[in-house]
A = this chain, B = another copy of it.
Amino acid sequence: MSDIKKLSRLYDRNKANILENYFQFLRFKSISSEIEHQKDSANCASWLKDYLKQAGLAVEVFESPSGNPIILASWSGAGPDKPTVMIYNHYDVQPVDPLELWTSPPFEPTIRDNKVYARGAQDNKGQCHYVISAIKYLLEEQGTLPVNIKLCIEGEEECGSGFLSEILKKQTSASFFSSDYLLIVDLGYHKEDVPAISLGVRGLCALTVEFKGANIDLHSGSHGGIVYNPNHALVEVLAKLRDDMGRITVPGFYDDVVDVSSSELENIDMYFDQDEYFANFGVRPNGGEKSYKFLESAWLRPTLEINGITGGYTGDGFKTVIPATSKAKISCRLVPNQQPEIIARRLSEFIQKITPDEIKVTITEHKGGASVRTSANSVISRTASRAYSEVFSKPCGYVYEGGSIPIVSELASKSKAEVVLMGFGLPSDMIHAPNEHFGLDRLEKGFITIARILQILGST
């Protein structure tokens, strides 16, 4: 019997328990960005701790003074001759608004058409759960594991990973994080049944920019033509951040950009189906830099997007106000070697410079993170690729991820490990949106793939 077949049987034998546990995990309302759910997050962390202890791991819980606990679980029974594999997941989830668009309640997991519908079903509880159940049942069956394991499961990924970042900065916990391989299991591939691992995530820097004109809202009749309307100042400044070709105009913005080499790109499928995009999103792709292919723009080029803008009256009817303030939230996706702090500073300085006189600018910087790119030729990439190929019975491809997992660069640097960015997400999973779901087939494939990666790493 093949290794994959054996792992598939292991899953089947424990499927009922796995699903019951997965559903328990999904029922916690662990929304990290909503303070009223802090208790739910604590309960979720406590449940995880118990689950991992029962599985036979040593569990340490880092309690945050103001946020959600981090679970650090380890198993070192493979001994010093075997590699140590760290796996990163998170148990917190996105908010559920707008609630009325959910077909079934977000915290009552429901199976329809072999998919589990719930907030977190994929991102990241689903992916976390096949990791922990693979380890649990492998250990239970064989009394041992092929490698040493470290699990890092945090509860603030959806709101910036602030606490984990803090823990990583503390020298005291350095020993825990050191490992040979680091699996970031929070990603996926782009076409069902065509497995792929990601060779990079983009970095992120994010600013809130506030423009202040007069000290009170003014009447646009009396003051129109006199005062500089902060709404006008804002649109004028924001419009200047990109040129007609979609290129970002901030001086120095592209200075540190490292292109992906053509040899690296050879393995990447850059085909982008415009019709499918239109069918999914109701719009043709026509943003971004005009001189790049769509997936180059989405994966390999930095971007600048206005995520939010507000100023003055926008309710029903009309109010002829010149507001005292206007505000925008701007984020940049970054690529190597753009440093979030440096890009944020260059952007801030440029905004300050081009803002009209008499408009006071206040800029707040949010926590960002650097881009990470990995090599397809590392041990861990080749191992993960082999495991995917065995599970899917077809070659594993390579993609990039346009999104960011800001903590990855910090975790990678602290652990000194080789990193692989992987997972079983699909673009159609509706993560961060109503009706998030995850296929039961992928829950199983995830279980088998993780177990297989550990086996391969342990056998060399």
Contacts and interface: CB of A to CB of B under 8 A. Distances in A.
A224 B298 contact: yes
Interface residues of A, number: 89
A98 to B, nearest CB: 9
Nearest to A311: B309
B235 A433 contact: no
A227 to B, nearest CB: 5
Interface in A232-261: 232, 234-236, 238-240, 242
B329 A312 contact: yes
B281 A218 contact: yes
Q: How many copies of this chain sit in the oligomeric assembly?
A: 2
Contacts of A224: 287-288, 297-298, 303, 305, 333, 402
A289 interface: yes
Given A224-B298, A235-B235, A331-B220, A309 B326 contact: yes
Nearest to A434: B216
Interface stretch (A47-55, A105-113, A147-155, A200-208): A200-208
A378 to B, nearest CB: 23
Nearest to A316: B33
Contact of A321 (B216, B321, B432): B432
Interface string A274-298: 0001000111111111001010011
Interface of A: 33, 94-95, 159-160, 202, 204, 206, 208, 213-229, 231-232, 234-236, 238-240, 242, 277, 281-289, 292, 294, 297-298, 301, 303, 305-314, 316-323, 326-329, 331, 333, 356-358, 366, 401-404, 427, 430-434
